[in-house]
Chains A and B, each alone.
Chain A
Amino acid sequence: MTPSAWVLPGWAYGAITILGLAAVTALSRGFFLWSRRDLRLPDALQRALQVAPLAAIVAVLAPEIFMAHGALIDTWRDARLPAALAATAFYAWRPGVLGPLLAGLALYMPLHVGLGW
């Protein structure tokens, strides 16, 4: 039994937990913005950290495209691979955001919803 059952009603326990989570967001996003002093990381590190956002995006995308059930996709009957290829090809032709998205979806939707890949 959680403490909430005898101290707080469930919704209040949930609300406090959620407000705490909001504080976690503020703390992590503002981590190096808190200090009043002028923070300066070593130049070499600062430059190297510039790849962090690209790395984070790729780290989110790669498993979403190449993995199923915690392992690399082991079948070609998965709609995500052809969809990602179509989006990539479209980007090579015309760089942008919406075009590759629509090209990918044009392949993904029939394969995934239609054929269940």
Chain B
Amino acid sequence: MHLRDLSRDRHFRHGASDMLAFGPGLAAWGLVTGVAMTQSGLGVGLSILMTLTVYAGSAQLASLPLLASGAPMWVIWASAFCVNLRFVIFSSQWRVHLGHLPRRRRLVLGYLLADLNLVVFQKAWPDRAAHQTGQARYAAGGAVAVWTVWQVSSLAGIVLSSLVPLSWGLGFAGTLSMLGIAYSLLTDRAAWVAAIVSAAAAVAAFALPLKLNILVAIAAAVAASILMAKANQSAERRA
């Protein structure tokens, strides 16, 4: 399906508009990331190349100091992969919903799907067990929306880097806008437990390098949800 037909598709538009609710927060983050790239000494040309191709904010920010200090390429790549490990976990979830697509299409779409995409997707399709019609188009709509908002704001940050006052703490706008989606996912006890465990683990493991505290937090939350499922099962069996 071509992008032009796609843009008229109900699911595609729905996916895009659900994501645009996060536009302001995303744009604040993109802007800050664009400024950070230029101010790290990367230069306008390479900053533009980075935002357009790498398209992974946290990995970009993590690799800036390494690039500036002239670290070897493989070190920079390995570090970015560590920062991106959560996407490996997410891709197992996407596989359930996108597995039916031709390989090339699911890889292209997968490359475009960031954190927020999966969170919003899960919210829109609460029955996560299997593939349903329209899911791939919904995901594509969200992917195009995030990509556009992120790239426009990031490019603006790169070009206007000297004019954007970082001391205002614009990045916190991104944080605040994510609070809403986090709260909206707290639908049952299992989600509450996962969120509390994850928050505690992320703070406790904050000193780890390469944002590995996020991976530790995910692992702790997943482990907690496995334990809870087990406990519920045995409670049911006793009853």
Contact = CB atoms under 8 A, between A and B. Distances in A.
- Asked if A and B are interacting partners, one says yes
Contacts of B181: 57, 97
A81 B191 CA distance: 23
A33 B77 contact: no
B46 A15 contact: yes
Contacts of B202: 58-60, 62-63
Given A53-B115, A80-B172, A21 B77 contact: yes
Interface of B, secondary structure class, is helix
A51 B73 CA distance: 34
Contacts of A21: 50, 53-54, 56, 59-60, 63, 76-77, 80
Given A54-B195, A97-B177, A11 B45 contact: yes
Nearest to A60: B214
Contacts of A56: 86, 90, 115, 198, 214, 217-218
Contacts of B223: 48
Identify whether the interface residues of A are mostly helix, strand, loop, or mixed: helix
Given A54-B198, A57-B115, A58-B199, A36 B222 contact: no
A117 to B, nearest CB: 10
Chain B, interface size category, equals: 35 or more
Contacts of B222: 48-49, 51-52, 55
A19 B46 CA distance: 10
Contacts of A26: 107, 110-111
A33 B54 contact: no
B147 interface: no
B3 interface: no
Interface string B98-132: 11000100110011110100110010000010000
Interface string B142-184: 0000000000000000000000000111001101111111111
Interface of A: 2-4, 11, 13-34, 36, 38-39, 41, 44-67, 70, 72, 79-80, 83-84, 87-88, 91, 95-101, 104-105, 108-109, 112-113
Interface of B: 21-22, 24-25, 42-43, 45-46, 49-50, 53-56, 58-60, 63, 67, 70, 72-73, 76-77, 80-81, 84-96, 98-99, 103, 106-107, 110-113, 115, 118-119, 122, 128, 167-169, 172-173, 175-186, 190-191, 194-195, 197-203, 206-207, 213-214, 217-218, 220-223, 225-226, 229
12 contacts: A15-B46, A25-B55, A27-B81, A33-B91, A36-B103, A48-B225, A50-B93, A52-B221, A53-B93, A53-B115, A57-B119, A98-B177
